[in-house]
Every structure is written in C-alpha cells, then in structure tokens.
Structure 1
Amino acid sequence: MEYEYGGWSIDPMPDFSLGKFSAHARIIRASSGCDADTEMHIERDLAWCNSEDEAIQIALNWAIDWINTRNASVSGRQTDRPTFAQR
C-alpha cells in the first residue's frame, strides 16, 4: 500500500518481529526530467506497535510531518491527507 503526498510516494508498511510491528516509512520522490533523479529516505524503528494499523498510522503521520518540514521553505505547509495509490 502506497500513499501519494506532496510529490512523494510513502510506503508505511511495518516489519513484524517478536510479536510486535515496527513502524517505519520509506519515502520516494522522482524528478520529472528525462534524466530523472530519484530521492529516497527511509526511517526505521519509529515505534513498536501491537497492531499493523497502528504502525502504519504512526509511519504515515511521521512521513507527512517530514515532507511538510522539508517542503515548508519552498511551498508552505500542505494540510490535505495523502491519497491511496494503486501500484
């Protein structure tokens, strides 16, 4: 499951280990030129959670905050929620 937000794709799927879900986010943005550069950021171990849904929500919220902070100096804060993207 991936989400699109602020020109980035967010993959918030957690890892499962020792009976807990580890929230982490993979954030990817590709430039639109023919010499497309891809930028990726991965944040692991955001939190240990009892449910997959909780881990996804934590990772998604973290990714949105990270994108907003990164984009704030260029275009201001984006406040809409991400849209689900089928891949």
Structure 2
Amino acid sequence: MPSYSALTDRSAVQRAIDEFDRLGRDAFLHKFGFGVARDYFLVTDSGRYDSKAIFGVAFGLQHGTPLGSDEFSGGRDGAAGRLAELGYSITGINFTG
C-alpha cells in the first residue's frame, strides 16, 4: 500500500484532472482501471471527479509508478482524505483544520 502523504504535487493532480476532462469520465476510468466513485468526489469549478481515480493517476504522474485501484483505499482515510489535505474540495469530507 502506498504512503498517501507521498502525493505532494498539486500539478500532478491537475494533470490528472486535465486528462479526465480530455478523455471524459468513462474513458478515463476505463483507461486507468478504476470503477465509478460511490461516495467521494473531488469538486472543482469545472466539475466532479472520481477521487480515487484522480489520486491513483496523479500518484503515477508524480512518482512514475501508476497505482491500480486494488492497491489503495479511496476513502476518507485514504485517497479522498489526502486530496482534501492538499486543499481540494471533496464531497463527504469536512476537515476543520
């Protein structure tokens, strides 16, 4: 299991979001082997993104080793939580500090 805190590069997250927008949701999830999010979405002015998939792709962009969906948790204590810690708005997570 990866160290969630190893994702530190917000530009990698933005590149993952850009790729999601370029391909579209279904093609992005299929290309990178992720299912649809059930609870946690990264929300920006341009849309809602499956947070686990965005994390996995961004991690790969930063570190050169993509993560498969079965290699990590997408929840509050995993990918979605780390994206929130990086300053992204995530549905279902309210951090107060």
Q: TM-score, normalised by structure 2?
A: 0.29
User: Between Structure 1 and Structure 2, which shows a larger proportion of helix residues?
Assistant: 2
Q: TM-score, normalised by structure 1?
A: 0.32
User: Between Structure 1 and Structure 2, which shows a larger proportion of strand residues?
Assistant: 1
